[in-house]
């Protein structure tokens, strides 16, 4: 095949066959059991379908990306695709096979050399997997990524009794994106229109074509149920670490606030809020772990609304932001640095207090204290410092 220069959606020009992508997302979501179909369900900070669209628009060898959607969700699809340079969505049909044919026909007026067909409910599509399918298309007209079958397979009867153990030798699970030479898969779909086959490789096989395989990915699962969505979130989570540090000086008073606990003392800490130095450090650590700025960005000391505010509000806010990103707090380690008051008698109460605010088990919180051996401002008992390290698991943006 003669190579043609083309420009992908990200503006990178490359030499080689042109390649477009059809992202099939025309299901109505009846099996998913939610208000919206699975392709519009939130996965961290983005809907499921947006993850797939992002993966293909960012790949340098992809020319155009065409979503095929259910017409009832046109506005939803347009909203989630905001900011992406993709083709206008095409309405799907009553079956997946008809939806794919609709997409192929829409591209036939300016056909690519190659076409990738991908399920919109497979959000964890890696650039390297796309590369493998494209490399396969240089060797044959049809390519499918596959993963080996690891479990023992059983066939059951109408009464849910095992009737047969199926040998798993040479059995694999097919995934998407499935790649084809455009003219051949279009002809196959046209010839088999109206038949209900389970994927595009089956259409190509039944038309007499041979399909090559390349290694797929265990992470590239298709979301069908809410449990699938939860497992996908867990698999995509990254481990991040943030640190925080804060200092407050003493002033006249009779207690200090540490980790949300009022600790009797000869002085209190001076600050715009309640000056809970430990919670301030902890809040900065959590925010920093997923790149959300610091406490001053969210609660500026110039804002009178936060005058004498309980610092619990700051940590709760940081946790809300983390959860909106699909994240979770794995561990929070706080060190309070002071000569007085003594922290150890109150550490259990402090751990319980922070666990309640963060909505996690107390075992995920550590509070300890140290001194500076009489050195520096803490050694002179002029104030208290605190540092915190937060470990979170969060979905990447």
pLDDT one-digit tens code per residue, 145-194: 999 998 999 999 999 999 999 998 889 999 999 999 999 999 999 999 98
Average pLDDT over residues 353-363: 97
Q: How far apart are CA 19 and CA 16, in angstroms?
A: 9
- How large is the average pLDDT for residues 205-230? 93
What residues contact 75, with CB distance under 8 A and at least 6 apart? none
Give the residue, 45 or 225, on which the prediction is more confident.
Answer: 225
Average pLDDT, the chain: 92
User: 252 in helix, strand or coil?
Assistant: strand
| Distance of alpha carbon 58 from alpha carbon 132, whole angstroms | 16
Supply angle C-alpha 182, 188, 193, rounded to 5: 125
As a dihedral over the C-alpha atoms of residue 68, residue 71, residue 75, residue 81, rounded to 10 degrees, the angle is 0
- State residue 30's pLDDT score: 60
Closest CA to 193 of 276, 96, 272, 269: 96
**79-113 b/e with 16+ CB inside 10 Å = b?**
ebbeeeebbebbebbeebbbbbbbbbebbeeeebb
- 86 Cβ contact partners less than 8 Å away, ≥ 6 residues apart: 9, 53, 57, 64, 65, 66, 67
pLDDT of 79 higher than 70: yes
Classify the C-alpha dihedral 191-195-200-204 as positive or negative: negative
Taking residues 15-25, what's their average pLDDT? 93
Domains of the chain: 4-228 (3.90.550.10), 237-394 (3.30.1330.50)
What is d(CA 41, CA 20) in angstroms, rounded to the nearest whole number?
Answer: 25
Tens-place pLDDT, residues 230-246: 888 888 888 999 999 99
- The model's confidence at residue 36, banded by pLDDT at 50, 70 and 90, is confident
| Number of helical (H) and strand (E) elements in the chain, helices listed first | 12, 21
Q: CA-CA distances (angstroms) from residue 368 to 83, 255, 300, 307, 348?
A: 47, 19, 28, 28, 10
- Reply yes or no on whether the pLDDT at 2 is more than 70: no
pLDDT beyond 90 at 55: yes
Mean pLDDT of 40-58: 90
pLDDT digits (tens, 9 = 90+) for 241-275: 999 999 999 999 999 999 999 999 999 999 999 99
pLDDT tens readout for residues 119-138:
999 999 999 999 999 999 99
For residue 16, what pLDDT band results from cuts at 50, 70 and 90?
confident
Identify the residue whose tokens are 């149920």: 225
pLDDT at 3: 37
The predicted model gives 46-66 an average pLDDT of 94
DSSP bridge partners of 328: 393
Query: What distance in Å separates the CA atoms of residue 278 and residue 387, rounded to the nearest whole number?
Result: 7
Under 8 Å between Cβ of 75 and 86 = no
Does position 7 have pLDDT exceeding 60, yes or no?
A: no
pTM over 0.75, yes/no: no
363-379 pLDDT, tens digit each: 999 999 999 999 999 99
Give the tokens for residue 342: 């003594």
Q: What percent of the chain has pLDDT over 70?
A: 94
CB 367 within 8 A of CB 325: no
Q: Tens digit of pLDDT for each residue in 297-346?
A: 999 888 888 888 999 999 999 999 998 887 899 999 999 999 999 999 99
What letter would DSSP give residue 71?
A: G
């Amino acid at each position: 095949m003669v190579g043609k220069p083309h420009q992908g959606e990200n503006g990178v020009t490359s030499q080689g066959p042109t390649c477009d992508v059809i992202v099939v997302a025309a299901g109505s979501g009846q099996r998913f059991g939610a208000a919206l179909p699975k392709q519009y369900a939130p996965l961290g900070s983005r809907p499921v379908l947006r993850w797939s669209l992002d993966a293909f628009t960012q790949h340098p060898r992809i020319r155009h990306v065409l979503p095929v959607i259910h017409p009832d969700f046109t506005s939803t699809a347009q909203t989630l695709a905001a900011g992406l340079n993709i083709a206008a969505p095409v309405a799907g049909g009553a079956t997946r096979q008809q939806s794919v044919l609709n997409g192929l026909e829409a591209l036939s007026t300016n056909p690519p050399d190659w076409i990738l067909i991908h399920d919109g409910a497979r959000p964890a599509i890696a650039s390297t997997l796309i590369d493998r399918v494209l490399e396969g298309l240089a060797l044959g007209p049809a390519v499918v990524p596959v993963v080996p079958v690891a479990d023992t397979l059983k066939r059951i009867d109408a009464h849910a009794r095992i009737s047969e153990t199926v040998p798993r030798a040479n059995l694999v699970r097919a995934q998407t994106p499935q790649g084809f030479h455009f003219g051949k898969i279009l002809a196959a779909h046209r010839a088999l229109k109206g038949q209900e086959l389970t994927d595009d490789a089956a259409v190509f096989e039944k038309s007499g074509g041979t399909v090559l395989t390349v290694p797929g990915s265990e992470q590239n699962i298709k979301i069908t149920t809410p449990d699938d969505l939860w497992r996908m979130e867990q698999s995509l989570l990254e481990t991040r670490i943030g640190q925080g540090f804060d200092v407050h000086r003493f002033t006249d008073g009779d207690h200090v606030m540490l980790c949300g606990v009022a600790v009797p003392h000869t002085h209190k800490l001076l600050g715009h809020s309640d000056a809970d130095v430990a919670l301030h450090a902890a809040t900065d650590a959590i925010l920093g772990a997923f790149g959300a700025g610091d406490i001053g960005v969210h609660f500026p000391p110039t804002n009178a609304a936060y005058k004498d505010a309980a610092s619990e509000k700051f940590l709760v806010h940081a946790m809300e932001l983390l959860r909106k990103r699909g994240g979770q707090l794995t561990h929070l380690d706080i060190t309070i640095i002071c000569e007085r008051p003594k922290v150890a008698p109150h550490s259990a109460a402090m751990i319980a207090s922070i666990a309640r605010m963060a909505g996690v088990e107390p075992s995920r919180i550590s509070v300890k204290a140290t001194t500076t051996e009489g050195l520096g401002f803490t050694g002179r008992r002029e104030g208290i410092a605190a540092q915190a390290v937060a470990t979170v698991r969060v979905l990447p943006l």
